[in-house]
Amino acid sequence: MPELPEVEALAAYLRERAVGRTADRLEVVAISALKTYDPPPSAVAGLEITAAGRHGKFLDVTFGGEIHLVVHLARAGWLHYRESFPAATPLKPGKGPIAVRVRLDDGSGFDLTEAGTKKSLAAYLVRDPAEVPGVSRLGPDALAVDLATFTARITSRRGQIKGVLTDQEILAGIGNAYSDEILHVAKLSPFALTNKLSAEQIARLFEAMRAVETDAVTRSVGQRAAELKGEKRSGFRVHARTGLPCPVCGDTVREVSFADTSLQYCPTCQTGGKPLADRRLSRIVR
């Protein structure tokens, strides 16, 4: 799933390539992807793209300074920029991975796509991003908070730190992948309880969050959209590295699996050398 660094990089790429161009038309290929009906897709035709940014993990492209295309790419969504399209004829709904296509006046544009059969990509055409339910519920951006705000947000909800850190109403932008990385750098178990964290541990977690996210943004911004996924994977220490050696201590990176996701961690760095039990099979070892 694209997280804060990748969405920031996609927005930066659009600012460089698309801002200042005029929209020729917006085509909705996957009807279920568009969650709004007013304004209609036809409303962006002839409007200049004036901005591109993000709200947490939501991408926001502004047309004419008044209409926002807000997109949550979900787990398998992505943005593909095209210097040209093979044909000017409209795409047929239900064919292929393309959910939305934006054509620009110079013949270029971008596709919002979603791989796989489970379609969760969500696009909204709104006059105010706050009209999007997911945006209106977001907590402060992970890279915008100071230590005091971070402490207040993290301790406002009792639970395992992995889940609290990825709760978008607590902090916006952190997902499954970078939370694994942040907890590894902070040397904290993903199952540590927020109400039992010391002030020193929270401060360490804050610094780890800033370091991991800032480094990922630095590495990602400036990359072409097609290169971002590879760049993301290349920086991982533990996420998606089950069975490989930890780059810090050499211990084997382990995994805990859930129904539809998993987490990775280093026992030596994070849990005092104790493996965490797979929640599907036995009691959690903290």
pLDDT in tens, 197-250: 999 999 999 999 999 999 999 988 887 767 777 777 788 999 999 999 999 999
Spatial strand order in the sheet of 109-114:
23-28, 98-104, 109-114, 77-82
Percent of the chain whose predicted confidence (pLDDT) is above 70: 94
Task: Give long-range contacts, CB 8 A cutoff, 24+ apart: 108-111.
Answer: 108/17, 108/18, 108/21, 108/81, 108/82, 108/83, 108/84, 109/18, 109/24, 109/81, 109/82, 109/85, 110/14, 110/18, 110/79, 110/80, 110/81, 110/82, 111/79, 111/80, 111/82
pLDDT at 284 over 60: no
pLDDT at 177 over 90: yes
Q: How far is CA 214 from the centre of its chain?
A: 14
Average pLDDT over residues 34-63: 97
* Single-letter residue type at 18: A
What 3-state class would DSSP assign to 81?
Answer: strand
- 264-278 per-position pLDDT tens digit: 999 999 999 999 977
pTM of the model: 0.92
Tokens 């040397």, located at residue? 187
Spatial strand order in the sheet of 122-126:
49-55, 58-63, 67-72, 122-126
As a whole number of Å, the CA-based R_g of the chain is: 20
pLDDT of residue 221: 87
- CA dist 7 and 67 (Å) reads 19
Query: What is the torsional sign of CA 258, 264, 267, 272?
Result: negative
- CA dist 39 and 55 (Å) reads 20
pLDDT at 282 over 60: no
| Residue 88 binned pLDDT confidence (cut-offs 50, 70, 90) | low
Q: Are the C-beta atoms of 61 and 10 separated by less than 8 Å? A: no
pLDDT at 6 over 70: yes
Report the range of poorest mean pLDDT among 54-68, 103-117, 139-153. 103-117
pLDDT at 74 over 90: yes
pLDDT of residue 224: 74
pLDDT of residue 279: 57
- CA dist 266 and 249 (Å) reads 9
Average pLDDT over residues 139-145: 97
pLDDT of residue 286: 44
